[in-house]
Every structure is written in C-alpha cells, then in structure tokens.
C-alpha cells in the first residue's frame, strides 16, 4: 500500500494555484500556518483521523480514554508549532451497533481533554459507519508570528532534544496486544502512554517563547521517522547516539518480558507525542533549566544535526541509517 510520504509527494505533483501570500506553511509541517488579515498572531490548523482496527482496538481501549487520545494527538501538533490551541471540530463515523453509553464515553473523554486545554468544540459531523468507529478531529490554534517553530529551522551543529521517554506508547501497545492482565497491571505508565497520551502544550509554549529553539516536531510516528522529517525540511542529516536514547526502566523491563528490544521501540515505536526539537549547543543550560522550572518535565539530549541527509544511529559498531523506520499508518500493521 502507498506510504504517507509517497502520497504527499504525489499530491505535490498535481498542479495547484499559486500559494496566497497569507499562507506561510502548507503541507509539510505539524500544522498549516496562515496570517489572517495581516495580523501579528498566526493561525495554526491541523487534522488527524483515528480508525478502529488501524489506530485503536476497543477490546482494550476504554472509550473515554480513546476520546481523550483523539484530542491529544491534535493538540500535540499545535504544541509542536509552539502554539496555543483554541478551537476544535469533531467528525465521527459511528457503527450502528455501538452502544450509546460508549458514544457518550468517547465524547466525555474528548471534551474533558479540550476543557483541560482551554479549547472550545465549535462543530463537526456525524455519519453512520458499517466498518467500525472513526474519529476525525481538526484543531485550530494560534501563535505569535515571531515565535512559530517549524521543522525547517535546524542548523548543522544544533543539538537534538526529546521531552520524556521514548518507546513508552509502543511498549504499552505491546502489553495490550499480549493481553495478560497481571503483566499489564505492573506497568500503568506504559499503558497510559498508549491509551491516554498527554500533549506537551506547556512545554511547546515555553520552548517557543524562549527563542532558543531552531526546529520542532511532535513524536507521532517514532523517532526514526519524525527526526527524518525534521532533517528533510531542514536540509540536513542527524546523528543519534544509541546510548543516549531515553528509555525508562519500565520500558526495559516490559520489553524483556515481552521478548522485544527496547531500543527498537524507542527508535521505531510511534505515538509517544513528546516533542523533538533542536537548539544550538550554547542554549543547552538554558533549555535544561527551562524544563526544570517551567514544565517540570524531563528533557534528554540524544544527538546533533549534521551536514548530509538521513538519520544515523551510532552505537558499538559502525553508524547505521535508521530514517523512516517508524510506524506508517498506511502500512496496516497496527494495532
Ligand atoms: Mg505531528
């Protein structure tokens, strides 16, 4: 089946009208960016669709947490631009067999996440589905024009940072798939990462306002893919040190129990929804301080931007290319 990268290339091949001057960024970033009415505040817009059987499995995903996740994955894209989320639209394709109480639970989780983020639901659509539940969400946000962060601003020599642990959501998904209740109960943080990810809205804002960050993307498809996108848009390569990959003790322990390689989950497991960003080495202490004070989160340095192309992983042996080894929704191998 066609990959997302290939599909975007094909879309770009079609003739399109000239880009209007108030459009600052179309396809190719976490959000489209435009300047309404010449204002200093830019508008951000993003959309994401979650399909039953491809992105979630209701046999283990509580509907309330699914609603929360549908909001979170979109809020994460606004965070990746350094923006403030404002409005949301929700379209649902609902199976005729779905209990109304479960529809209510999805809505409750979705609206809870929006309320927590200060976002208003302003519209959407509902249709009948013969093929499972689909949730399609659009979020509109805003950001000051001097503070918007694109994928394209990284410079050679910039350090590469990630917020939080990598591979948590993939380990949580593996636990859910395997389905052993006693084992799942041991790793609530991993399950949470898969079932109810938290967008890094406050961190995204703090990083944008700091003026220290050169490029940013959220981690939806896995480090190998998301960093490759940032590299492509910045016209550079990246070198990641295997020993610097932030992998939690829980992830290592659960991986061992499940017969999985934790580094593999960290590199190609998707859906962590942490932020991946670049900044010059001189900003290192300021960024580390900012994480501690402003957001209380953990930031990890994992490598640096280099001249060239692709994502190199350095470990014990020779460095190897890992770009685009992440989860591609079109490859049809999840959940
Ligand atoms: Mg994104």
Q: Summarize pLDDT for 286-295 with one digit per residue, the tens.
A: 998 887 765 6
Q: Mean pLDDT score of the chain, rounded to an integer? A: 92
- 43 alpha carbon – ligand 1 mean position (Å): 16
Residue 141 has pLDDT above 90, yes or no: yes
pLDDT single digits (tens) 47-101: 999 999 999 999 999 999 999 999 999 999 999 999 999 999 999 999 999 999 9
pLDDT single digits (tens) 213-228: 999 999 999 999 999 9
- 10 alpha carbon – ligand 1 mean position (Å): 20
Mean pLDDT (whole number) for 230-240:
97
pLDDT band at 334 (very low <50, low <70, confident <90, very high): very low
Mean pLDDT (whole number) for 266-295:
89
pLDDT band at 267 (very low <50, low <70, confident <90, very high): very high
- 5 alpha carbon – ligand 1 mean position (Å): 13
- 80 alpha carbon – ligand 1 mean position (Å): 7
Mean pLDDT (whole number) for 10-28:
87
- 193 alpha carbon – ligand 1 mean position (Å): 16
pLDDT band at 306 (very low <50, low <70, confident <90, very high): very high
- 85 alpha carbon – ligand 1 mean position (Å): 14
Q: What is the pLDDT, as a whole number, of residue 330? A: 43
Q: What is the pLDDT, as a whole number, of residue 84? A: 98
- 209 alpha carbon – ligand 1 mean position (Å): 20
- 218 alpha carbon – ligand 1 mean position (Å): 5
- 300 alpha carbon – ligand 1 mean position (Å): 19
- 221 alpha carbon – ligand 1 mean position (Å): 8
Beta-ladder partners of 217: 276
- 217 alpha carbon – ligand 1 mean position (Å): 6
Describe the strand order of the beta sheet including 299-306 as a list of residue ranges: 215-218, 275-279, 159-163, 299-306, 237-241, 310-314, 320-321
Mean pLDDT (whole number) for 303-331:
81
pLDDT single digits (tens) 144-198: 999 999 999 999 999 999 999 999 999 999 999 998 999 999 999 999 999 999 9
Segment among 137-141, 252-256, 268-272, 304-308 with least mean pLDDT: 268-272
- 192 alpha carbon – ligand 1 mean position (Å): 20
Q: What is the pLDDT, as a whole number, of residue 274? A: 94
- 48 alpha carbon – ligand 1 mean position (Å): 9
- 183 alpha carbon – ligand 1 mean position (Å): 31
- 266 alpha carbon – ligand 1 mean position (Å): 17
pTM (predicted TM-score):
0.93
- 219 alpha carbon – ligand 1 mean position (Å): 7
- 76 alpha carbon – ligand 1 mean position (Å): 7
- 274 alpha carbon – ligand 1 mean position (Å): 10
pLDDT single digits (tens) 97-132: 999 999 999 999 999 999 999 999 999 999 999 989
- 30 alpha carbon – ligand 1 mean position (Å): 4
- 71 alpha carbon – ligand 1 mean position (Å): 13
Residue 19 has pLDDT above 90, yes or no: no
């Amino acid at each position: 089946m066609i990959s997302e990268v290939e599909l975007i290339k094909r879309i770009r091949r079609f003739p399109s009208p000239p880009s209007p001057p108030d459009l600052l960024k179309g396809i190719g970033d976490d959000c489209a960016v435009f300047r309404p009415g010449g204002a200093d505040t830019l508008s951000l817009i993003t959309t994401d669709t979650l399909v039953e059987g491809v992105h979630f499995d209701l046999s283990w995903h509580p509907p309330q947490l699914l609603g929360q996740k549908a909001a979170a994955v979109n809020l994460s894209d606004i965070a990746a631009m350094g923006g403030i989320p404002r409005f949301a639209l929700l379209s649902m394709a609902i199976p005729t067999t779905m209990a109304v109480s479960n529809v209510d639970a999805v809505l409750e989780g979705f609206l809870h996440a929006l309320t927590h983020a200060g976002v208003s639901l302003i519209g959407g659509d509902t249709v009948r589905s013969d093929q499972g539940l689909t949730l399609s969400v659009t979020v509109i946000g805003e950001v000051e024009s001097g503070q918007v962060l694109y994928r394209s601003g990284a410079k050679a020599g910039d350090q590469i940072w990630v917020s939080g642990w990598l591979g948590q959501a993939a380990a949580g998904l593996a636990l859910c798939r395997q389905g052993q209740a006693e084992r799942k109960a041991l790793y609530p943080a991993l399950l949470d990462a898969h079932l109810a990810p938290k967008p890094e809205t406050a961190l995204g804002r703090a990083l944008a306002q700091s003026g220290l960050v050169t490029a940013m993307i959220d981690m939806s498809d896995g480090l190998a893919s998301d960093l490759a996108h940032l590299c492509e848009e910045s016209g550079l390569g990246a070198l990641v040190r295997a020993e610097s990959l932030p992998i939690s003790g829980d992830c290592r322990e659960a991986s061992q129990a499940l017969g999985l390689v934790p580094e593999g989950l960290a590199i190609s497991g998707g859906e962590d929804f942490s932020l991946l960003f670049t900044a010059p080495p001189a900003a290192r202490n300021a960024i580390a301080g900012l994480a501690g004070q402003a957001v209380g989160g953990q930031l990890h340095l994992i490598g640096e931007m280099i001249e060239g192309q692709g994502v190199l992983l350095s470990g014990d042996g020779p460095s190897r290319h890992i770009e685009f080894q992440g989860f591609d929704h079109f490859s049809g191998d999840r959940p």
